Amino acid sequence: MPAALAMLAAPAQAATLDGSQLSTLWAVPFVGILLSIAIWPLAGPHFWHHHFGKIAAAWALAFLIPFALVFGPAVAGAGLVHALLAEYIPFILLLTALFTVSGGIYIRGNLHGSPLLNTGILLVGGLLASFMGTTGASMLLIRPLIRANDNRRHNAHVVIFFIFIVSNIGGSLTPLGDPPLFLGFLKGVTFFWTVGHIIWDTVFLTASLLVLFYLLDRHLYRKEGVTRTDPTPDTPSFGFDGAVNFVLLAVVVALVLMSGVWQPGIAFDVMGTEVGLPGLVRDLGLIAVTAISLVITPRRVHQANQFGWAPMQEVAKLFAGIFLTIIPVIAMLQAGVNGPFGAVVRAVTNADGTPNPAMYFWATGLLSSFLDNAPTYLVFFNTAGGDAVQLMGPLANTLAAISAGAVFMGANTYIGNAPNLMVKAIAEDRGVKMPSFFGYMAWSFGILVPLFVIVTFLFFR
């Protein structure tokens, strides 16, 4: 057993992990957990629903135990602490706060889904997604959008474009919008960097999709003629229940901004991981926001929103395994062309050794289509060197390509981004006949991929 384990790596250094000396076998647990996320919900949804936590834990242990045996408990412990304190805990606390706050807001009233109204809701959702997260904006608006169109014979396209715009592309402008961008923020990318570098990509895609949607929706709306009787009764008023949560949402934005701007120079060392005071204050503040929202939100609002913890439990368990198993993958990618993943690095690198933004855009995007886009972002962030200062400066177009690919192309499949499946499940529960996995891909590849080709020529050549 020790001899077999020793084949996985060269002798370990005392406190560091040299990725150039690692075997690619160390990436197996990471690939395994990502493939599990991609395949099990489709191949065995019942089994996955009951055992996804155990599957994630099994892959995590498949990495951690051999890692500790080969490199020693000190290096394994330091890696575990870094993954928890520097990435996983801040990531989960932000998602939990946004999920809780958005779940405490209920849009009251019955709208009538005309093409202009539907387009307006998609536009508002796309704008909100960068400030309350794609999950938060999706959960806030999908139910009133479905209610507005529940008397129409053709309404699946409304949900499909909602996934495109609100659940994915709209979240591309700030670290609050989509998990990959918050991971970049934790790695040192400044809060407003993304909006300054991919805003026109986002505007082009969103405007194009809104125009296409309006034309399609108007055609179907006119073709239907007289619609069915609206199953949702009209209400005397329209408004927000639990609107105080908008104040808490502003607090979340302020906390994240504070952690990026306030630099008191105070930090604590925990087994080699630096925990700065701003990040600590931010995380404690997010815990407080989550608790306050749960206390002050009326129970009827949570019931109306069908608020529950199952989606967050799944995200928390799966990402615990992802952030642990990705440790050796990041080390190997940071080793560059001479490391175990040299072929991957060379595929996205020009002949002169400079990064190729177009290749980064498509490589990040295609993997984000079938695997979760947050770990995919981390993989290519580190493939490009992992230095936020360099990536925001001389390599800015490469970081923009990675960011855009991860966020935009999460819309290509149901499994590319967590809100996609959540929106699909809610729509089907409300009687919308959503397309199958491959049926949805026919929509996304027919509409989105040509737009992504144009984005490549406009912004990443």
The β-bridge partners of 212 are none
Cβ atoms 166, 138 nearer than 8 A: yes
Two structure tokens written together for 251 = 């607090």
Main-chain phi, psi angles of 162, to 5 degrees: -60, -45
Q: Residue 32: its pLDDT value, please? A: 92
Q: Residue 233: its pLDDT value, please? A: 54
Cβ atoms 233, 92 nearer than 8 A: no
Q: Is 361 exposed, middle or buried (0-12, 13-18, 19+ CB in 10 A)?
A: buried
Q: Residue 412: its pLDDT value, please? A: 94
Q: Residue 231: its pLDDT value, please? A: 56
Residue from 90, 66, 182, 89 nearest 135 by CA: 182
R_g over Cα of the chain: 22
Model-level pTM greater than 0.95?
no
Q: Residue 1: its pLDDT value, please? A: 39
Check residue 274 and report its DSSP letter: E
Q: Residue 15: its pLDDT value, please? A: 44
Q: Residue 238: its pLDDT value, please? A: 66
Amino acid residing at 155 = N
Q: Residue 12: its pLDDT value, please? A: 35
Residue from 302, 303, 306 nearest 294 by CA: 302
Q: Is 312 exposed, middle or buried (0-12, 13-18, 19+ CB in 10 A)?
A: middle
Angstrom distance (rounded) from CA 134 to CA 126: 8
Q: % helix / strand / coil in the chain, to the nearest 5? A: 70, 5, 25
Helix extents (H) in 305-436: 310-325, 327-334, 342-347, 357-370, 373-383, 388-392, 396-408, 418-429
Cβ atoms 146, 162 nearer than 8 A: no
Cβ atoms 105, 240 nearer than 8 A: yes
Instruction: List, in order, residues 6 or more apart from 13 with CB less than 8 Å away.
Output: none
Collapsed DSSP state (helix, strand, coil) of residue 107: strand
Cβ atoms 448, 164 nearer than 8 A: yes
Angstrom distance (rounded) from CA 441 to CA 229: 32
Tokens 């502003």 -> residue: 250
Angstrom distance (rounded) from CA 31 to CA 29: 6
Amino acid residing at 19 = G
Helical (H) or strand (E) element with 246: helix 245-261
The pLDDT tens digits along the chain (461 residues) read 333 433 343 333 334 678 888 899 999 998 898 888 878 877 888 898 889 899 999 999 999 999 999 999 988 999 899 889 988 999 889 888 988 998 898 887 766 778 999 999 999 999 999 888 898 899 889 888 988 888 888 889 999 999 999 999 999 999 988 889 988 998 899 989 999 999 999 999 999 999 999 999 999 988 875 555 555 555 555 678 898 999 998 999 899 889 888 888 888 888 888 889 999 999 999 999 999 999 999 999 998 887 888 878 888 888 899 889 988 988 888 787 778 888 888 889 888 888 999 999 999 998 888 766 887 898 899 888 889 999 999 999 999 999 999 999 999 988 788 788 778 878 887 788 888 878 899 999 999 999 999 999 999 98
- How many Cα atoms within 13 Å fall on the side-chain side of residue 242? 28
Q: Residue 360: its pLDDT value, please? A: 95
Beta-strand pair 106-108/273-276: unpaired
DSSP string, 288-300: HHHHHHHHHS-HH
